[in-house]
Amino acid sequence: MPKVLIVDDEPFIRLLLEQTLEELEDDGVELITADNGETALEIIRAEAPEMVFLDVMMPKMNGFDVCQAVKNDLGLSEVYIVLLTAKGQEFDKQKGIDVGADIYMTKPFNPDQVLAKTREILGMAP
């Protein structure tokens, strides 16, 4: 059963992403949420989800650190990581590339695009 992990400290964004991807649950996809980087890292380590939506700006362990740990320290390079950045927020693209993120996405995100991208990554029909 494919897993998608949603990591954001803002409940609003978690709720919206969950709702956006909800229809995938009917096709057997499991949606998991986490509200901080440390929990996220534990879940990724234990369950190696196919795809992770990862907020960059989080207290304690930020998205860059989580990504770095997953892609390099844990060696889970096949986990597809989408970094979430806020519009207007300074985003260091070079750093995103350095830590091994696959793509980045700006909030407010376009729900249709998020769903389409997720289907693509999970290898599901559009």
Partner 1 sequence: MPPINIAKLIKRRDFAPVLNRLVAALGASVIIEDHHGKLLLSTADAVRQTGYPVSVAGEIIGWVNGNEQAGAIAALLCHQAESEFEKRTLAAETLNKYKEITLLYEMVEQVTCCLDTKEIARLVIEQAKRVLELSSVAVLLLDKESGLMELVATHGQELDGTRSIRPGVGIAGSVWSSGRAEIVNDVPADPRAAGSARVSSLMCAPLKAKDQVVGVIKLGSAQPVNYSADDLKLFTTLASLAAVAIENASLYEQLQEAFYTTVYTLAETIEKRDPYTGNHTKRVMEYSLAIGRTMGLDQETMTRLQLGAVLHDVGKIGVRDAVLLKESALTDEEFEQIKRHAVYGEEMISGISRLRTAIPGVRQHHEKFDGRGYPDGLSGEQIDITARVISVADSYDAMTTDRPYRKGLTIDEAFAELRKHAGTQFDATVVDAFFASDVMEAYFIANSRKKILDTID
Q: What residue has token string 């709720």?
A: 15
Question: Across-strand partners of 86?
Answer: 107
Residues forming contacts to partner 1 in the complex (CB under 8 A) are 12, 15-16, 18-20, 22, 25, 32, 108-112
| H or E element that contains 33 | strand 30-34
**Please, what is the minimum distance in Å from the beta carbon of residue 83 to partner 1?**
18
User: 34 or 99: whose CB is closer to partner 1?
Assistant: 34
Structure tokens at 15: 């709720």
First to last CA, the chain: 18
User: 62 or 105: whose CB is closer to partner 1?
Assistant: 105
User: 9 or 18: whose CB is closer to partner 1?
Assistant: 18
